[in-house]
Amino acid sequence: MSDETNTYGDDIHLTTTDATTIYNTLIAALEKGAGEPLYPGDERRIFGEGLVAVFVALYNSLDDTGRQTLLRYARGEVLDAIGERLDVHRLEGSPAKTTMRFSVSTPQPNNIIIPKWTKVTPDSDHYFATDEIAVLQAGAYSVEIPTSAVSNGTEYNGYAPGTITTLVDLIPYIESVTNITATAGGDDGEPYTEEGDNRLRERIRLAPASRSTAGPEQAYIYWAMTADSSIIDARAVSETETISRTLTVYDGHAFIGGGRLLPDTLIVKEHGESTAGVEDTDYTVDYTDDLLTIELKGALADATSLDITITHTLEGCVKIVPLLEGGAVPDESILEKVLEACNASDIRPLTDVVTAVAPEVITYDIEIVYYTTPETEAEVIANVEGTGGAIDRYNEWQVGALGRDINPDQLRKRILCPSWGENLTGAFRVDVTKPVYTPVSDTQVAKFSGHLTVSHKAESEVV
């Protein structure tokens, strides 16, 4: 983990890596050994100065080696070794899948056997193989067979229907093959990259909670994230239910009892009326010892009964919400994996009822105008609108976690200060009309709607 991506507290160094400090220490040691000052131009000082670069590199290497023993900085195989202490292992990827159609132009009088692992390819670089043995029945023109990539990874995704047409393992009488669905579902797992290391590191961090059978939130999240390598985030929340009641008013007060009520969700109306009262103006609320007390005043002061709705948390009902890489919404197959992992009898507390559901998607539009100088216009356009530019990176950031509020300042920051690379020039001003700041709950994910309105103006910046 780089210092820039360290989000776990103050940065830690196990030895000095400052070149100036090392320089001063080395020269002071040489002067002490020589017994006299070593002035600039002294060949002994020149020799010492030549060693500084070597010592700086050595100290940095020693510091990095030491920091590798700490979870927040470990990477690669060292991170794997730390995970082994808690029986946490790097998740393997998954292969992309599709459905292949094997066809003949003239029906044959006998069945044609298509062996399992029959390979096909779209480009002679990426190969797919059938998942099962199949039979093209006598008299039939075609048969459809589920097929998977021969290797894991996202690079096998995205082949449109009709693009995989080369049969590698020839079969008598089979004249053509084609994929009838786009290839999808390929995943890189947790590769030896910064992103893969960070995902493994987070699971290692959650692993101690997985030992509990009392149903803590972090344990459910840990097991959910082990269900499939494409899951990058998960939330475990208690299920809620909204109830409606008609309450009788006694001496200006109404009461409803029950634990785990959520007072912030309370809506109060005079019985039979459609207009809700205003808290602190028409009523006040006190929730103590599982008793919710509504004291009436203002427009509700003379009410004899109230219609209320309020949400309460259901005890023992747990909802698991996973999020896939790139903000993708999990399908039923992924949700089944999550439920299987979290609902196992040796993981789920006996009294819990566990469900797995997809997150709710909140969409946003982008509408911006940014300003550049005439001299930097072309460069800034590429850095803002180009592939991998500020807009792309903002959208990637926004779908990177559940519950991440729609924050236009994050977009503004990336346009003005493209710090993801060196010597990149950003705009000197930007007007963001959309998106607007929007809170996002823990079970929601914000995604770009695809509606993009972007323009720029080249002006001389006034300094």
Token pair, residue 146, equals: 């589920």
Instruction: Compute the mean pLDDT over every residue in the chain, rounded to the nearest whole number.
Output: 90
**pLDDT bucket at 8, cuts 50 / 70 / 90:** low
Q: Are the beta carbons of 381 and 456 closer than 8 angstroms?
A: yes
In tens, the pLDDT along 199-236 reads 899 889 888 877 766 678 888 999 998 888 889 899 99
pLDDT given at position 414: 92
**β-strand pairing of 353-356 with 305-324:** parallel
Angle at 457 between CA 454 and CA 460, to 5 degrees: 150
Q: Is 365 exposed, middle or buried (0-12, 13-18, 19+ CB in 10 A)?
A: middle
**What sign results for the dihedral spanned by CA atoms 24, 27, 28, 29?**
positive
Token pair, residue 31, equals: 């002067």
In tens, the pLDDT along 345-385 reads 888 888 889 999 999 999 999 999 999 999 999 999 999 99
- Backbone φ and ψ for 94, nearest 5 degrees, come out as -135, 150
Domain positions in the chain: 3-73, 97-179, 212-357, 360-458
Residue 387, CA distances (Å) to 215, 334, 391, 394 in order: 43, 30, 9, 12
Q: Are the beta carbons of 310 and 267 closer than 8 angstroms?
A: yes
In tens, the pLDDT along 156-212 reads 999 999 999 999 999 999 999 999 999 988 888 888 888 889 889 988 988 887 776
Q: Return d(Cα 54, Cα 162) in angstroms, integer.
A: 58
Amino acid identity of residue 240, one-letter, is T
In tens, the pLDDT along 118-156 reads 999 999 999 999 999 999 999 999 999 999 999 998 899
Q: Which of 1, 147, 155 is nearest to 93 (CA)?
A: 155
> What percentage of the chain exceeds 90 in pLDDT?
69
Q: Which pTM value belongs to this model? A: 0.64
**pLDDT bucket at 463, cuts 50 / 70 / 90:** low
Q: Are the beta carbons of 302 and 336 closer than 8 angstroms?
A: no
Token pair, residue 296, equals: 């009436």
Q: Is 391 exposed, middle or buried (0-12, 13-18, 19+ CB in 10 A)?
A: buried
**pLDDT bucket at 420, cuts 50 / 70 / 90:** low
pLDDT at position 1 over 70: no
**DSSP annotation of 300:** G
Task: Establish whether the linkage from the previous residue to 435 is cis, with ω within 30° of 0.
Answer: yes
